[in-house]
């Protein structure tokens, strides 16, 4: 049973999808042992409390740069024997040692079909604003491993979502979450915990 840490920064709907997947048995080879938030007072923490999951707040604002912040997160992971990290709406780009020690053990969900609308500056609602601005007809979500290139690690799962005429960034964000993120993130986490993801260079092979 792998010990899972979930990193959050906001509402935590993806965390909720993971909690629900654990309850329903979709995630069965891992257990969420810790939630780490980069901000105080976010609703994701209420979700952790309600599910009786231990949590810590490690505020990004207390650190001068992403690397010193990432080093503190690494300490927390090692102290808690964490085997896999899930970034679920986590708004800091991880840097330095943590990426080496947890190579191919950090999983992120991104609200677009990588390599579109990704990289530095593409996060949260902004991703959907850019997709609508460009006029694409299909977007979606991607679950991938984290490496030192923002949104550049090996892709695990993707799911497409159609854009509709009257979409606003908020409406589109909700559809992408409901139809894609909340489904493929728990599936990818279970695939990882069950040892079913083979990594070859920057590609994955899923053993179903
Ligand atoms: C989600 O759409 C997630 O994909 C996105 O932020 C939202 C967080 O929602 N993450 C990124 O943009 C990271 N690059 P949540 O807090 O309700 O899960």
The single residue listed with the structure tokens 């009786």 is 52
CATH of the domain at 116: 3.40.50.170
| pLDDT-based confidence at residue 208 (cuts at 50, 70, 90) | confident
- For ligand 1, what atom is nearest to the CA of residue 127? 12
Catalytic hit among 9, 77, 107, 110 = 110
pLDDT at site 187? 98
- For ligand 1, what atom is nearest to the CA of residue 173? 2
How does pLDDT run across 47-90, given as a tens digit for each residue?
999 999 999 999 999 999 999 999 999 999 999 999 999 999 99
Are the C-beta atoms of 13 and 182 separated by less than 8 Å? yes
pLDDT at site 167? 98
Pocket of ligand 1 (CB under 6 A): 10-14, 44, 88-89, 109-111, 123-124, 127, 177, 181
Q: What is the DSSP string of 28-73?
A: -SEEEEEEEESSTT-HHHHHHHHTT--EEE--GGGSSSHHHHHHHH
Q: What is the DSSP string of 1-18?
A: -EEEEEEESS--HHHHHH
How does pLDDT run across 143-192, given as a tens digit for each residue?
999 999 999 999 999 999 999 999 999 999 999 999 999 999 999 999 99
Establish whether 144 is a catalytic residue.
Answer: no
Percent of the chain with pLDDT over 90: 99
Mean pLDDT value across the chain: 98
pLDDT at site 110? 98
Number of domains in the chain: 1
């Amino acid at each position: 049973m792998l010990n899972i840490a979930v990193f959050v920064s906001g509402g935590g709907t993806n965390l909720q999808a993971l909690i629900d997947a654990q309850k329903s048995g979709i995630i069965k080879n891992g257990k969420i042992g810790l939630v780490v938030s980069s901000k105080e007072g976010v609703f994701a923490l209420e979700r952790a409390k309600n599910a009786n999951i231990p949590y810590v707040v490690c505020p990004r604002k207390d650190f001068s740069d992403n690397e010193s912040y990432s080093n503190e997160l690494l300490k927390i992971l090692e102290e808690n024997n964490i085997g896999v990290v899930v970034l679920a709406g986590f708004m800091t780009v991880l840097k330095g040692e943590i990426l080496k020690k947890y190579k191919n053990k950090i999983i992120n969900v991104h609200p677009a079909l990588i390599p579109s609308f990704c990289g530095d500056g593409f996060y949260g609602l902004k991703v959907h604003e850019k997709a609508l601005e460009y006029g694409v007809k299909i977007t979606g979500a991607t679950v991938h491993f984290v490496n030192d290139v923002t949104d550049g690690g090996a892709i695990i799962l993707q799911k497409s979502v159609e854009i509709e005429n009257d979409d606003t960034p908020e409406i589109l964000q909700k559809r992408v979450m409901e139809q894609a993120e909340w489904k493929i993130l728990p599936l990818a986490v279970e695939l990882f915990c069950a040892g079913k993801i083979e990594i070859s260079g920057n590609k994955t092979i899923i053993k179903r």
